Structure 1
Amino acid sequence: MRLRSYHTIGLAIITLLMTASTLRAQESVTDSLTVRSIFDELALIKEGEGTVFITQSPDIAALVHNRPTLITKDDLQAGYTYRSGYRIQVFSSNDTNARSTASHRAQQLKDAFPEIETDVLYKAPFWSVRTGSFVTREEARDFINSLKGRFPAFAREMYVVPSKIKVPL
């Protein structure tokens, strides 16, 4: 019985953190709009709705507020683990010159965004290039727009793919 309650608490915390990231991704940041966390949102008093009181460690709130949207190479220096996330596929082909094209595109990405992890992958018979490590699909979509603006020649080939990503420990 005790193990089940720890499991339930763990799932509640994970759900809370994922909901917070979704809320933050949906809010647009402008000069007139402040970004609120899930905790701030729950604590708002709304007419006709109940009141939520949150008692929590400040460490939990700090984790929600400080979670990176794009995980860079510097974030991974202290070590990392893998989790489900999203990457941007920039190239995929099985043409005879696919290997050299993949290497060329990967180098272009590394030159333009040196802080972002870019990989050339081979899964027979396809060569592909994937970049970035994103926790949510929305974050990947936001970044893909800047990639398409920077590389319009192959913008039509770019799309978000579910992938295992490296996350800092």
Structure 2
Amino acid sequence: MNKLLTILLLFVSCQAFAQSKGEVIVVKDPLIDSLIAKRIELNKARPTTTNPTSPTIVSSMGYRVQIFYGSDRKQAFGEQAKFKADYPKLNTYITYKEPNYFLRVGDFRTRLEAQQFLNEFKSVYPTLFIFREKINAPALDGSDN
């Protein structure tokens, strides 16, 4: 009888302390909703393919050629400025992965294009490497069709 009373008392006490359903109140800045709506609108406007008439940059996997790496920030930006002065049409990108800065050039769709660039500039920049990474895809020419 003592055991039955203990189990019954334990069961009743568990029910008394059980969690009841409640409500969650979200406190947020009203600008968050407007930012989310703007982001959705921008994503709807982004094309799925590269369109020469659209100013939107579409990223895809491709290749870049690394022309410089080193731990000196000023030297990396100096090399970038020097390269941009000589070749203004080619895009340059500086990334930092501790402890080095990497200067990579170009947005090449194929490894063959990157290899041609590497062969052309090997005499000027002796330590060139090709890397596969996300690029800003250049516009396709209409002459391929």
TM-score range, shorter chain: 0.5 to 0.7
The amino acid that maps onto 1:161 is F
In structure 1, the residue matched to 2:74 is: 100
**For each residue in 1:77-130, what CA deviation from the matched residue of structure 2 results, as whole angstroms up to 9, or x when unmatched?**
711111110000011123xxx211111111111011101101221122211101
Q: Percent identity?
A: 29
2:64–2:104 contact (8 Å) kept in structure 1: yes
Q: 1:166, CA displacement in angstroms?
A: 0.5
In structure 1, the residue matched to 2:13 is: none
SS at match of 2:137: strand
SS at match of 1:111: helix
Q: 1:168, CA displacement in angstroms?
A: 4.6
**Which of 70, 88, 103 does residue 65 from structure 2 map onto?**
88
Aligned length: 89
4+ long deviations beyond 4 Å: none
Residue pairs, 1:9-158, within 5 angstroms: 78-94=55-71, 98-149=72-123, 151=124, 155-158=125-128
In structure 2, list runs of 5 or more residues that go unmatched.
Answer: 1-49, 140-145
In structure 1, list runs of 5 or more residues that go unmatched.
Answer: 1-66, 68-74
Q: 1:146, CA displacement in angstroms?
A: 2.0
SS at match of 2:126: helix
Choose 1 or 2 for highest CA Rg: 2
TM-score (norm. length: structure 2):
0.55
TM-score (norm. length: structure 1):
0.47
1:133–1:165 contact (8 Å) kept in structure 2: yes
**Higher normalized helix content (fraction of residues):** 1
Work out the CA distance in 2 between the residues paired with 1:130 and 1:105: 11
Cα RMSD between the aligned structures?
A: 2.3
The amino acid that maps onto 1:81 is V
1:144–1:158 contact (8 Å) kept in structure 2: yes
